[in-house]
Structure 1
């Protein structure tokens, strides 16, 4: 993965070889392994090849970057103790790097990358460097395509059939994803590498107004909600977390306190395990391995759906007079592509209708015969692809300017009575956003208060 343009963040795996710190595009890193004592020797050693390493039955060339980091001015006093092997993959090309230290992920904006060498020397692996925003330290950025090209030529010169290696690598196993395995609250968690923007030292943070267990910190000139690991894991007390894993999906972000990053690991797209979705707890899939290790694969999408505070990173500020207060109104909690709280004062009726009662309209959308009148129906449910929807349709009839309008939602979840939750107000640019925070024995739940007019403006497909 190349550095992204504009304000986008490009996650990089950071490794250390000697005294040099190197950034590798996270999309090219398949996993990290413990380094063996010896590699399979080559018939004729060429270039920077150390030998071959069998990974899932596939021979992979192992490359030593020491000569490049020495040219870059790294101090290598004595023989380095290479403790890790980082496996790289791009399509059907595979290679491994021997490194001393595997560090946490870093997210690099395009503005942080500086081109230092402007030639296209195929023998050079480092043309650019970047300043890590969180620490101010410099990374040398690895040119992964050049590395694969060099590895191929060295293997050919050493008498290794690279084409056969590539063919085997492309045909092994099932589809996989890269996961960052971290230690958090005494547990081993796995986070989708694509969802990890960066891992940074834990910043100073303050309690979120009215949000039990949630804290606020500053990240990239905006607020970031820091989740409570003790609440998510159901623990009485959490161990000190020196690091913060910043999870990002689109424009939203959440902070998860962690103790350390163990490794990057490749795991099946659809692993087998026990699903956990208890209210207020960490949504995850628990996977047990033969070696006794228990790993919790975090469902990032579900975690973000639980926490509307993920939108706080959009340059949001507490609104004037936005301190927490008890709710005066009754709210209906519904799932419409995400959990929302809707004031019941905006609703005419909540009902379940047969699918055939929602009649397709000639201009698109659908209509419903409600109390003797024909009203429009907007579909706010999650797309289901080509699958047929079955059973009843959950509908909320909203008061409209001219006449009522019905919205179809995925599910009507619950009702929050007056005085049972806390309301807090935040500002995002010139827009005011209300959050409803409900504290129960099972944990804390936070819902974004829906604006009925905004719901009706949302793009809707036909029921």
Structure 2
């Protein structure tokens, strides 16, 4: 299994084991028949045969090869769970099914997260590498799809299946089935929303939210060091407005596209499934209605249309500016929505989190030694000595940071005169034109700027205001 690039894994469970397989190898997850058709074998790990879109696919039961332990039942909401199912896998022209007990969603891993543990390259073994998940630190065994099919000596061959399918279509005068796409199904209010599997980064417990204000019903949170805009209630599914309020939703689904991200409050993550998405973009909206194989209504999400409709996703940008703000991501033409280059420099500081302030508002920055001297005679009062007079001191640091004796001080001149703001440290300076400024609502602004190979986003604080806070 190649691990030279970042991996997006579909995570699933067999007994007590947690396993992962590259999402590009997953064709579909289908229900396990109560009595699968049998393919008699004297030995091996075949659990039977299932039909998948007109072709017969052998199903492997790993429990017949290795000790998988007992199934562990966990609380609802921990992941995408669907009970016993068949994971249809495809690699190198071969399709094989795998019997699984649970499908737990998608996980992103970096190459350094993957460790090869078995080095003997035993042709009789199906696992050689493992990974520790970024969230929770649990260990996944990585499944090699091609090796699984080879060891089982059972698969459905693309060439044979394609010839049989073409002959069947020619005889019936039918057209080939529409292409399908793998989706993750989420419970949003009383409805099911299908998000393209490659666009769903993770589903996490709902974090603390902050309101944008300014008359708009939306929020944001911190996620992986970035600012993440949370979609307002009913933004996608109008019929679920009363049931999708983020305060009531226990989970947050993070959806990414082209370096941008948006958050969606959800009640539960359900399962992986496949749907034909032909004509989805022609629907003229962010979602299009369809039905699953049981006749349950499902709303398919067009992730490209989603990010075009909600340009506030730009505050989460982690890639180059031309990627984050390129074609396909702007339904509005105003600079506040798209972001404008910063006309003045900004100082990024750490207080209770990272924030930025326009350098025009800051008269001077005092390092720890100068700050200690200025605070020497304050005797605990909310003031400091500056040029022979006492000026107000605002503590912007978190309580734990405020216990440290040597802050940095930003001297700021506002409408009520000069005052000092205590911060933990000064992080970076963003020069004019070095970032993009975004306005959400009437008075909430962010600035994004490159930091090495990535791009970071900072909330802009107005420290000159009488009630300024970091």
Q: Indicate conservation of the 8 Å contact 1:221/1:315, yes or no.
A: no
> Paired residue for 1:236?
242
Structure 1 residues 44 and 295 mapped into 2: Cα distance closer, same or farther (>3 Å)? same
Give, in angstroms, the shift of residue 284 of structure 1: 1.1
Match of 2:198, SS state, is helix
Match of 2:216, SS state, is coil
Give, in angstroms, the shift of residue 251 of structure 1: 1.2
Equivalents in 2 of 1:93, 1:3: separation in Å? 21
> Paired residue for 1:249?
257
> Paired residue for 1:391?
none
Equivalents in 1 of 2:18, 2:456: separation in Å? 43
Normalised TM-score (structure 2): 0.60
1:59-458 equivalent positions in 2, closer than 5 A: 59-67=56-64, 70=67, 74-76=68-70, 83-90=84-91, 92-151=93-152, 153-154=153-154, 164-165=160-161, 167-168=163-164, 173-208=177-212, 210=214, 212-234=216-238, 235-238=241-244, 240-271=248-279, 275=283, 277=285, 283-288=286-291, 292-314=295-317, 338-342=331-335, 422-429=442-449
Structure 1 residues 433 and 40 mapped into 2: Cα distance closer, same or farther (>3 Å)? closer
> Paired residue for 1:14?
11
Q: Indicate conservation of the 8 Å contact 1:30/1:264, yes or no.
A: no
Structure 1 residues 246 and 61 mapped into 2: Cα distance closer, same or farther (>3 Å)? same
Give, in angstroms, the shift of residue 253 of structure 1: 1.2
Match of 2:8, SS state, is strand
Give, in angstroms, the shift of residue 315 of structure 1: 6.3
Match of 1:111, SS state, is helix
What residue ranges of structure 1 are gaps of 5+ in the alignment? 278-282, 317-333, 344-419, 436-463
Equivalents in 2 of 1:222, 1:120: separation in Å? 41
Give, in angstroms, the shift of residue 19 of structure 1: 0.6
Give, in angstroms, the shift of residue 305 of structure 1: 1.4
Equivalents in 2 of 1:266, 1:227: separation in Å? 25
Give, in angstroms, the shift of residue 341 of structure 1: 0.5
Match of 1:124, SS state, is coil
1:35 and 2:32 are equivalent in the alignment: yes
Give, in angstroms, the shift of residue 51 of structure 1: 1.4
Give, in angstroms, the shift of residue 95 of structure 1: 0.9
Give, in angstroms, the shift of residue 60 of structure 1: 0.3
Listed one character per residue, the Cα deviations across residues 217-250 of structure 1 (whole Å, up to 9, x for unaligned) are 2322322222224343231342632322221112
Equivalents in 2 of 1:217, 1:314: separation in Å? 14
Normalised TM-score (structure 1): 0.61
Match of 1:39, SS state, is coil
What residue ranges of structure 2 are gaps of 5+ in the alignment? 73-81, 168-175, 320-326, 337-439, 460-470
Q: Indicate conservation of the 8 Å contact 2:289/2:297, yes or no.
A: yes
Give, in angstroms, the shift of residue 94 of structure 1: 0.9
Match of 1:311, SS state, is helix
Structure 1 residues 223 and 57 mapped into 2: Cα distance closer, same or farther (>3 Å)? same
> Paired residue for 1:440?
none
Q: Indicate conservation of the 8 Å contact 2:311/2:330, yes or no.
A: no
Give, in angstroms, the shift of residue 268 of structure 1: 2.1
> Paired residue for 2:46?
49
Give, in angstroms, the shift of residue 17 of structure 1: 0.7
The answer to which of 83-92 and 201-210 deviates more is 201-210
Number of positions where the alignment pairs a residue of Structure 1 with one of Structure 2: 324
Equivalents in 2 of 1:432, 1:95: separation in Å? 42
Give, in angstroms, the shift of residue 300 of structure 1: 0.9
Give, in angstroms, the shift of residue 275 of structure 1: 3.1
Structure 1 residues 211 and 38 mapped into 2: Cα distance closer, same or farther (>3 Å)? farther
Q: Indicate conservation of the 8 Å contact 2:315/2:457, yes or no.
A: no
Equivalents in 1 of 2:142, 2:107: separation in Å? 12
The answer to which of 188-197 and 267-276 deviates more is 267-276
Equivalents in 1 of 2:215, 2:121: separation in Å? 53
Equivalents in 1 of 2:236, 2:190: separation in Å? 13
